[in-house]
Amino acid sequence: MKKRLILLFLFCMFFGFSGCAEVNRNKPIAKEGKMDLSSWDFSKDGNITLDGEWEFYWKQTNKGIQIDTELGREPKYIYQTIPSNWKGADWFGETLGGFGYATYKLKVLFPKNTPMLAFHNLDLSSAYRLYINGKLVVEQGSFGINPNYFEPSYKSVLMDLEPLSGETEIVYEISNFHYSKGGFWESMEVGERRMLYDKVNRSYQITSFLAGSIFLWALYHLGLFVMRRQDKASLFISLFSLLIVMRLLTIGERNILNIFPNMPMDFLIRLEFATIYIATIVFAYFYRLVFPNTVGKKTMWVLNILITPFLISLFLPVAIFSAQIHFFQIFLILVCVRITIAIIMAYRSDTVGAGLSLIGFSFVFGTVVHDILYQNNIINTMNITPFGFLGFILFQGYILSYGFTRAYLSIEKLKEKLEVSNKELNILKEGLEDIVVERTQELENSKANIERLNEFAKTLNTSLELDSILTKAFHYLNEEVFCDSMILLLVDAENSKLIYHKSVFSPNSGLSLESKLNGMSFSLDSSAGIFYHVYKRNRPFRFAKVWETRLTESNKQFVQMVGKHPGMIIPLSSQGKVIALLALFSEQKGRSFSRSQLQLVENTAENIATAVTNSILVEEMNREKFFAENSRMLMENAKNEVVKLNEFTKKINSESSLSQIIEEMFNYILKTFEIEATLLQLIDTKKNELYTYNTTIPTYATKEQLLFAKSIRVPLNEKGGIIYKTYLRKKALFVPKPPKRYESELDEQIFSQLSLTSFVAVPLVVQNEVIGMAYFTSFQKPLDVTREVLRRISGFCDQIAGAIQNSLLLQITEEERKKSEQAKAEIQKMNEFAKNVNSQNNLENILAEIFGFIRKNYKIEHCVLYFLDKEYNEFRYLNHSGFDLLVDENINYFKSLRFPLREESGFIYKCYKRKRHFYMKHVPKSLPFAIDKQITERSGMNGFLISPLVNNDEVVAMAVYGISDENIQLNTDEVNSIVGVSEHIASAINNHFLLRKIEEEKQRSDSLLLNILPKNVAEELQKKGRVNPVEFENVTLLLTSFPGFSQITGQLTPEELIEGLDLYFSRFDEIIKAQGMEKLRMTGDMYLAAGGLPVGNFTHAVDACLAALQIKDEVMRMIEDFKDIPFRPNGITIAIHSGPVVAGVIGKSKFNYDVWGKTVTQAQAIRRGGVGVPINISQETMEKVKRLFHIGNQRQINTYEGDQVPIYELLSLKPDLSDDTGSIPNEKFGRLYTQQKRGAKILIK
């Protein structure tokens, strides 16, 4: 024990010193992105990690930061403590995730004349670039701002730095789209080149030493397993050690990359996680084999279930399974805690090696906790778990050596024992003859005892009475073991008690306890003391002296009766269960029972137990026989009762009249149970109460009692008192006498009004639903109802409940049949009415038909319809019927009446809001709203029915029916029928407005189509759904544009530009339409129209020229008249060209009528080349109009194809064909134009 305490002390000292290693409180750290190393001597002070607050730029690169700085923009950043990761960091209110990229920046002030420096970095997550003073130093992986250009790398870096002095800027660009968290999670270490390289080399050497040591340990244990296959613990510790070696090579400097430099990073991370996952469960299995009593199968089953999700997750992307590491770390700590508990339990049970194993595992547990803190950046040290496992291996080696030593000592001891056994064997051989003689004598004695025991067993089996069995058993034991008294306690397992049965005493005994012990019992628990101890263990108990201090209270009472005599208590067992306890006492002083006597009694107890069991079984059989006989008699009586009840049931089931059924029921109750007063109540489901259907209260009851019995109603709620509770319980209730305190007022009324002394209430239940209640009482004497009678009455009521239910259903069916016939007639009448209404198309005729139907069937003469005007949000007059009886003033009042959708509109508004009708049988003297009062006064009606006319769940109108005859009282069915008829009005009104709206929409659609397309083209499109393209041999195109339009648009707002173009183009539309031309399209400042299509004519060229002259004059006039608008063109340019074109409609949802062909492109060329001249016409157009118009000079322009064509300036109409302006034709022109229009072709001769 002392050695173990010393080892534990050394263990604590080791961790104490290891926790204090490399603590230097004077090392500078970075603050707010700056670090001062000007006073740091790298040669004396050693290496330094650049930990502390770095500037953190989220989703920014170093180049992007430089550009923002050059442009005068201040880039956003925060300070982040290094080492750490950015997952979960707060970036101006945004919580960062694991994926992304960022820039870390630190300004370091190095001392002057620094020695040759180097830096060392473990892996960062997951790719990075390092810049020092703006120069790229190293890149690990492929830094990228998105996953497409990103490649992870988890390699460490050790490399030299260029000479540094003064302020130096260190920048890391880090991106992560691979691991679950990203960032600067390992420190950057800078130091004098030789010292830093030595440190890293030492790290490699330590790792190699640890890996080699653990690997040799694994091989050693693997060899042990090969030599001894039963030792599976050696196999598991070997596998565990190999996994630790693999784990050691995949963390820290990741030395495995030196062995396999081309290993994929994805596989490296999976290997790192797989080693720790599998190692954990293998380690647990090792301890299961070492300490099987403290690490059970259930523990391993739970661990296997918990580790399975982690193993499956290795097949998922790295970002997913690496995010679960926190859950695994919790699981790992729980495994370590469970193993620690198991080792402690083994230590307490003195398991060999448990103490040393506890110390060895403490190394593992402590280093695991340390490394979890390190992996989560809570502490900044290094992975030390391998050191912990090395310590564990050392102690396991010691345990193994200790085991070998113990095995060797055991062999030596066995050898010594074998020698001693050989000597004893020789001695025994010499005295074997004496032993044979002794054993022969013992066998003869045993044979005699067995024969006596057999005789005793035969004697017991000849008797079946328990008292006789006990007497014979006592005589036998008195002779064999000299006992003076015997007491039998039977076990009552159902009640968990020990019950005194009988006691037997010898003639010499001075005890007489039968009267005292009779009725005594003990609870089968610890309070029974020694009796419970014997019963629980099923083993005998022998005592030579009674110790009162150790007895329970019940034991003390028993001892006071029996006396402080030596004795024994024997359990009597049958089929493995204790059925009784047998207590034997000796009253002779100084004498107690010996062990051999106890053994004899035990052998005898088996026979006694068998006899006792047989006796108990016989008693139970006789008792069951008695019960069976009684049950048979009860069954016979019940059979007679059932036969009688079945005959009654057949009789009432043959009846369909409910009154007859109830009368038979009352007679049966009177004859069978002599109960003369019966009351039957049924459920009124609408009012949720019980009402009296019939009663047989005798005639000698008072009138008040009869009236109360017939009129009583029981509400099915708490006010219903005990009857309501009986209804809920669905069980019969017998009240033998009036209660002292009544639960409800109704209970008191029932007892007082009917003068009841007792009564029975039975729910009538059908298919688990109560349909009524039956009450039974007597006015002559109180009822004497036993439990059996109550059961019979309840059973009788169950039988008749079905018949009552069937009769009620029959009545309801008959009533429903009559209603159905009435409804059928009503439906037929309504169908005829609907046919007449649907055959009408005119709203006036439909309303006349509906009003006539209501007048004929319901005698309602007056009806006014008000439709809902959604534009004004009010009801307005639509139609009426029956105004002939009113004066003109009142008729005009109702026609001009408006009902705004507000509370002031009275009942009309309420019906509108509720979408439900309102029926007023009689007009009250006062009404809440003035408008309702005016309506009643002006109409002179005695009653009103207001019905909202609803179509598609929307109120479209209100129908107000006036009832002038006081004798007309509409019932619910009539009101519903009128409301149903009103639905036809709603449909008619809705259809009327829909048709009107459809007609308006059709006219609007046609108008819009005609604005887009020529009339005959639009008609063709409507008929066929398409328009065939048409080639016209000769049409004239007119194009306009405003000179300098581009400059004008640059000076105007969009609103001013649209306003000006709309003003001019609207006037162009009027001129084009007046000249019989077709407007085709507008694009920018270009306006295109055509003459001679879609219907050909002989005047299209003349029409275009006349339109051009009018447009030119109109533009000049508008420029003068509209000086206040911003859009002021410098004039107008018009191009006119004649020739063949193809015309057609394009588009599916938006149609466009347009023309194509060479004529179109040449007309556009004329418009482009005619700048400076108001109206330019082509050679082809000039030939067609030269007899009517004055033509100016000829010029040449280039077409889009590069050809030159002549164009002419159109000046005016010839003087003899126009007025003084030269733009308006005279009568002579008109005659020539008419002839040309008819096809005379006089203008082109």
pLDDT digits 0-9 by tens, 760-816:
888 988 888 888 888 888 777 777 788 888 888 887 788 777 777 777 777 777 777
Each residue's pLDDT tens digit, 134-192: 999 999 999 998 998 899 998 899 999 988 888 999 999 999 999 989 999 889 999 99
- Please indicate, yes or no, if residue 1039 is contained in any of the structural domains: yes
Distance CA 1110, CA 1224 (A): 8
- Give CA angle at 201 (196, 203), nearest 5°: 100
Q: pTM (2 decimals)?
A: 0.38
Q: Are 599 and 542 in contact (CB under 8 A)?
A: no
- Are 711 and 761 part of one and the same domain? yes
H/E run at residue 113: none
- Please indicate, yes or no, if residue 72 is contained in any of the structural domains: yes
- Are 169 and 227 part of one and the same domain? no
Instruction: Identify the domain boundary among 129, 164, 192.
Output: 192
Instruction: Identify the domain boundary among 814, 845, 875.
Output: 814
- Within 773-903, where are the H helices? 787-838, 843-858, 888-896
Q: Are 1239 and 1203 in contact (CB under 8 A)?
A: no
Task: Find the farthest-apart pair of alpha carbons in the chain and give their distance in angstroms, rounded.
Answer: 179
> What DSSP state is assigned to residue 383?
-
Question: Domain with 1186 in it: what CATH number?
Answer: 3.30.70.1230
The answer to whether residue 974 scores a pLDDT higher than 70 is: yes
String of b and e for 419-452 (b: at least 16 CB within 10 Å)? eeeeeeeeeeeeeeeeeeeeeeeeeeeeeeeeee
- Please indicate, yes or no, if residue 821 is contained in any of the structural domains: no
- Are 615 and 680 part of one and the same domain? no
Unique residue bearing structure tokens 């340019």: 1133
- Are 188 and 210 part of one and the same domain? no
Helix (H, G, I), strand (E, B) or coil at 366: helix
pLDDT at residue number 11? 46
- Please indicate, yes or no, if residue 444 is contained in any of the structural domains: no
Question: Which residues, listed in sequence order, are joined to residue 485 by a DSSP beta bridge?
Answer: 505, 585
Q: Which domain holds residue 173?
A: 27-192
Instruction: Identify the domain boundary among 150, 165, 192.
Output: 192
Task: Name the residue type at position 907.
Answer: F
Each residue's pLDDT tens digit, 988-1032: 777 767 777 766 666 665 555 555 556 556 566 556 556 667 788
- Are 539 and 666 part of one and the same domain? no
- Are 113 and 137 part of one and the same domain? yes
Q: 173: buried, middle or exposed (CB in 10 Å: 19+, 13-18, 0-12)?
A: buried
Distance CA 590, CA 1117 (A): 156
- Are 73 and 153 part of one and the same domain? yes
Look at the chain and report how many structural domains it folds into.
6
73, 404, 481, 20: which is closest to 224 by C-alpha?
Answer: 404
pLDDT at residue number 4? 47
Question: Domain with 977 in it: what CATH number?
Answer: 3.30.450.40
- Are 792 and 900 part of one and the same domain? no
pLDDT at residue number 13? 40
Sign of CA dihedral 446, 448, 450, 456: negative
- Are 1085 and 1143 part of one and the same domain? yes
pLDDT at residue number 1010? 52
- Please indicate, yes or no, if residue 820 is contained in any of the structural domains: no
Q: Are 773 and 732 in contact (CB under 8 A)?
A: no
| 613-621 long-range Cβ contacts below 8 angstroms, 24+ apart | 613/574, 613/579, 614/461, 614/464, 615/463, 615/464, 615/465, 615/466, 615/469, 616/466, 616/490, 616/579, 618/464, 619/466
pLDDT at residue number 5? 41
Which positions ≥6 away from 731 have C-beta within 8 Å?
763, 794
- Are 1038 and 963 part of one and the same domain? no
**Average of per-residue pLDDT across 17-44:** 74
**Average of per-residue pLDDT across 189-197:** 92
- Please indicate, yes or no, if residue 261 is contained in any of the structural domains: yes
For the chain, the 3-state helix, strand and coil shares in percent, each to the nearest 5, are 50, 20, 25
- Are 38 and 161 part of one and the same domain? yes
- Are 1056 and 976 part of one and the same domain? no
- Please indicate, yes or no, if residue 405 is contained in any of the structural domains: no
pLDDT at residue number 97? 92
pLDDT at residue number 886? 67
Distance CA 1183, CA 1172 (A): 23
- Please indicate, yes or no, if residue 268 is contained in any of the structural domains: yes
Each residue's pLDDT tens digit, 1083-1107: 888 899 999 888 888 888 999 999 9
pLDDT at residue number 188? 92
> What DSSP state is assigned to residue 833?
H
Distance CA 683, CA 1076 (A): 88
345, 347, 343, 380: which is closest to 365 by C-alpha?
Answer: 343
